[in-house]
Amino acid sequence: MKKANFSRRGVLKTGAVAGAGLMLPTYLRAESHTGFTNAPTGDTVTFGFNVPQTGPDAEEGLDELRAQELAVQHLNGEGDGGMLSTFSQKNLDGTGILGKKVNFVTGDTQTKSDVARAAAQSMIQKDGCIMINGGSSSGVAVAVQGLCQEAGVIFMAGLTHSNDTTGKDRKANGFRHFFNAYMSAAALAPVLEKAYGTDRQAYHLTADYTWGWTQQESMAAATEAMGWTTTQNVLTPVGAGDFSSYIAPVLNSGADILVLNHYGGDMVNSLTQAVQFGLKGKQINGKDFQIIVPLYSELMAKGAGSNIEGVYGSMNWNWQLQDDATKAFVKSFGEKYGFPPSNAAHTCYVQTLLYADAVTRAGSFNPCAVVEALEDFEFDGMGNGPTTYRGSDHQCFKDVLVMEGTASASGNANMVGYDTLKIVEQTPRAQVEYPEDHPMFAGGALGDCNPGA
Amino acid sequence: MDAIILQILNGLDKGSAYALIALGLTLIFGTLGVVNFAHGALFMIGAFCAVTMQRLLTLSHTVIDPSQTDFLGNPLQTKVPYLASIIGADGAQALIAWAVPLSIILVIPVMLFVGWAIERGLIKHFYKRPHADQILVTFGLAIVLQEIIRAVYGANPIQSPAPPMFSGSIDLGQYLGFQANAIVYPIWRLVYFGFSTLIIGAVFAFLQFTTFGMVVRAGMADRETVGMLGIDIDKRFTLMFGLAAAVAGLAGAMYAPIVSPNYHMGMDFLVLSFVVVVVGGMGSLPGAVFAGFLLGILQGFASMNEVKAILPGIDQIVIYLVAIIILLTRPRGLMGRVGVMED
């Protein structure tokens, strides 16, 4: 017969420890850095930067990587600190995160969902990454976000603009700082109304994937609300190269506006070819024919050259903003690399700092602690004005920039794409906000945060 | 009617590129018996010859302008083309604007050399190997070539505009009795069609009316007999590889204003061009040209909104659908010769 080893003192001690444990917030129970995926154990912590390093979006990916490397340097106390000095939170002091030096590894998404998932998986499993950041496509972002949710690490999205990323495909472990298609349309509509009036016929060419669909839906809804008619929406294959078959019928369709829901190389080609077909400047319905590109990037502007002159679009951020945070980041990036940062670079830089700050505030790398720290987090000093990470969908809400293509201001060939986009309006955040249950974002749920192992 | 004419024009334009690439593929297959999956990459290299010509003409030296500042507040460094110092700013500007047509003088020697180097350095070792080996090695070569271009020129598409006098569009409808804006078409695409027709005609004339061409045609028909007559047919076939590369390169260079050159543009054309060759008939030069234009026009029609409303997605599959139908009804393709790839 075994003798029970209970004592009054032992029961009291065990009860006290268990009670204290239960009273602590969920995330602090992971303070010992166990119980979640890739809990850092040494004096370093590793980030995974998953960007397109080859493939059609490689230039944008490499620009993201430059910004991510800069963010790591600033977190580790190297360089001039960039936006650390302007960030409204002052928890990051250049000594790493929670005393651990930040390392990083990189993956190549090739802008392919399966490749991006494999790269992220490798960085999580082999390199022990605690957070994945970057990307240049919504298809990739949705795929990697899903993987991070399953693996129990945080995904700080890079350039992803589809409504679905924080709509039907939202995940508790995923966060998007970049704006979305709905916000682009909401910001553009008043500017377009002012420039082109309320009686317009719009013809849409739309990239046939998640981003294109939601961009078209958002633009059609916003422009129809101000009186425009959508005459046709034609889906085009991604990477078509020659869009002549799709552009040729536009002039005879009765439309006087062409909306190019294309991004990257597709936008460069479709816009160039639309200009070659003489659409810009033609008189249709007694009005000047106009072209709109809802989402701009500096590299697209560079590729399209002078064809973007007079073409409206939108951006998440632009290096020409005059706030202190933007100035600090542009100086830091520009001195290191010799040219201004793109808005893809900016969002990756900010996301890296936001993650680091969230960990510091939470006092833990536990993904659930980070999620809690980021949800409904309000901050400033990152170049976008006062910003909120909404808790219900993990989407950042902030001002949106309406841009117009223009002739190069400096005449400097190296600045084409950077100074050929002019900020027309900084649309206030209130104008682009939408309710949590907006139909364009319906069909998904964050679910519970997953700390992994 | 105007929509149909527009799509015929689009088809002729796309078909021009298909026909030129398929012509080169058929030349190589007909002479050397090699299935060259690197041919799309040769088209892409041609397009980058246009980019290179643009860069050569805009080679610049840096001038510091203390009266202006850059985005960091430092004195502005302005790049001034060397050409402007030699012939003046206006002359340089005019010459730079003609970079694409001028690139032809760069494309021909570069592509002849590239073709020769590929044939002598790699492909000749695979003549007696199965077609599967040839496909693998040439496909690998295509990837290597495109990655080299990506490393040198980057992954972004690079604008290569047509000369100003050809960069606008023309209202063809007015000449054909249609109302204004009914058939508006880019001038450069019409130039491209004309240029392609010229090149195709020149290749056929070369093969038909020169002694060299006669020997090559004889070699294509019966290689052994030509060899027994004491003619070094291998040397001539090597030159034909160079010629096929030059044709692909010219097609690519002149295509640069239509689709901004990017390192993977060759792959976009490769598969379609192979389908063109198969539909036209393996080894048949007229078949390749005819099939190129035919499939280009069919693709144009399939892209019409009226057609897609009835058959969604037809524009993406029409070429393959036609290829299946033709191969089922005419297994040798439209103009295929007996005995080619039938052993």
String of DSSP letters for B181-242: TSSEEEHHHHHHHHHHHHHHHHHHHHHHHSHHHHHHHHHHH-HHHHHHTT--HHHHHHHHHH
In the predicted model, what is the mean pLDDT of residues B38-44?
Answer: 93
Residue A410: per-residue pLDDT = 66
pLDDT > 90? residue A8: no
Longest dimension (CA), chain A: 101
pLDDT, greater one: B163 or B227? B163
Percent of chain B past pLDDT 70, that is, above it, reads 98
Identity of the residue in B71, B155, B185 whose CB atom sits nearest the CB atom of A59: B155
In the predicted model, what is the mean pLDDT of residues B203-219?
Answer: 90
* Confidence band, pLDDT 50/70/90 cuts, at residue A411: low
In the predicted model, what is the mean pLDDT of residues A115-131?
Answer: 96
Across A185-194, B81-90, B114-123, B331-340, the highest mean pLDDT is recorded for A185-194
The mean of the pLDDT values for chain B is 89
| Bridge partners, A288 (sequence order) | A283
In the predicted model, what is the mean pLDDT of residues B45-57?
Answer: 96
Contact list in A for residue B155 (CB cut-off 8 A) is 54-59
CB contact under 8 A, A59 and B188: no
CA atoms within 13 A on the CB side of A90: 1
* Confidence band, pLDDT 50/70/90 cuts, at residue A291: very high
pLDDT > 80? residue A31: no
CB contact under 8 A, A249 and B3: yes
- Tell me the shortest Cα–Cα distance from B72 to chain A, in angstroms: 6
* Per-residue H/E/C for chain A: CCCCCCCHHHHHHHHHHHHHHHHCCHHHHHCCCCCCCCCCCCCEEEEEEEECCCCCCHHHHHHHHHHHHHHHHHHCCCCCCHHHHCCCCCCCCCCCECCEEEEEEEEECCCCHHHHHHHHHHHHHCCCCCEEEECCCHHHHHHHHHHHHHHCCEEEECCCCCHHHHCCCCCCCEEECCCCHHHHHHHHHHHHHHHHCCCCEEEEEEECCHHHHHHHHHHHHHHHHCCCEEEEEEEECCCCCCCHHHHCCCHHHCCCEEEEECCCHHHHHHHHHHHHCCCCCCEECCEECEEEEEECCHHHHHHHHHHHECCEEEECCCCCCCCHHHHHHHHHHHHHHCCCCCHHHHHHHHHHHHHHHHHHHHCCCCHHHHHHHHCCEEECCCCCCCEEECCCCCEEECCEEEEEECCCCCCCHHHCCCCCEEEEEEECHHHHCCCCCCHHHCCCCCCCCCCCC
Residue A10: per-residue pLDDT = 54
pLDDT > 90? residue A156: yes
Helix (H, G, I), strand (E, B) or coil at B60: strand
d(CA A323, CA A327): 6
In the predicted model, what is the mean pLDDT of residues B231-236?
Answer: 85
CA atoms within 13 A on the CB side of A255: 23
* Confidence band, pLDDT 50/70/90 cuts, at residue A342: very high
Contact list in A for residue B161 (CB cut-off 8 A) is 305
pLDDT > 90? residue A16: no
Phi, psi torsion values for A416, nearest 5 degrees: -60, 130
Residue A23: per-residue pLDDT = 45
In the predicted model, what is the mean pLDDT of residues A141-167?
Answer: 96
pLDDT, tens only, A366-387: 999 999 999 999 999 999 999 9
Residue B175: per-residue pLDDT = 85
Q: CB under 8 Å to A387, separation ≥6 — which residues?
A: A378, A379, A380, A396, A397, A398, A429
Q: How far is CA A388 from CA A27, A375, A398, B222, in A?
A: 21, 9, 7, 76
Contact list in A for residue B260 (CB cut-off 8 A) is 265, 268-269, 272, 303
Task: Tell me which chain B residue has its CA closest to the CA of residue A56.
Answer: B155
In B163-182, the residues whose Cβ lies within 8 Å of chain A are 167-169, 181-182
In the predicted model, what is the mean pLDDT of residues B177-194?
Answer: 89
In the predicted model, what is the mean pLDDT of residues A86-98?
Answer: 95
* Confidence band, pLDDT 50/70/90 cuts, at residue B342: low
pLDDT > 70? residue A22: no
Percent of chain B past pLDDT 90, that is, above it, reads 44
pLDDT > 70? residue A11: no
In the predicted model, what is the mean pLDDT of residues A322-332?
Answer: 97
The model carries a pTM of 0.85
Q: How many other β-carbons are positioned within 10 Å of the β-carbon of residue B257?
A: 28
Percentages of chain B per state (helix, strand, coil), in multiples of 5:
70, 5, 25
Residue A408: per-residue pLDDT = 76
Phi, psi torsion values for B72, nearest 5 degrees: -100, 0
Residue B31: per-residue pLDDT = 81
- Tell me the shortest Cα–Cα distance from A256 to chain B, in angstroms: 12
Residue among A54, A244, A419 with most chain B CBs within 10 A, to mutate: A244
* Confidence band, pLDDT 50/70/90 cuts, at residue A20: very low
CB contact under 8 A, B10 and A248: yes
Residue B231: per-residue pLDDT = 87
pLDDT > 60? residue A33: no
* CB A445 within 8 Å of CB A171: no
* Confidence band, pLDDT 50/70/90 cuts, at residue B220: confident
In the predicted model, what is the mean pLDDT of residues B226-247?
Answer: 88
* CB A296 within 8 Å of CB A92: no
CB contact under 8 A, B184 and A277: yes
CB contact under 8 A, B155 and A276: no
Contact list in B for residue A59 (CB cut-off 8 A) is 154-156
pLDDT > 90? residue A210: no
Q: What is the ipTM of this complex?
A: 0.84
Residue A116: per-residue pLDDT = 96
Residue B343: per-residue pLDDT = 52
In the predicted model, what is the mean pLDDT of residues A237-251?
Answer: 87
CB contact under 8 A, A241 and B185: no
Residue B81: per-residue pLDDT = 87
Helix (H, G, I), strand (E, B) or coil at B68: strand
Contact list in B for residue A268 (CB cut-off 8 A) is 156-157, 159, 260
Residue A25: per-residue pLDDT = 41
pLDDT > 50? residue A21: no
Residue A3: per-residue pLDDT = 45
Residue B338: per-residue pLDDT = 66
pLDDT, tens only, B283-301: 888 999 999 999 999 988 8
Phi, psi torsion values for A243, nearest 5 degrees: -100, 15
Amino acid residing at A131: M
pLDDT, tens only, A293-304: 999 999 889 888
pLDDT, greater one: B121 or B306? B121
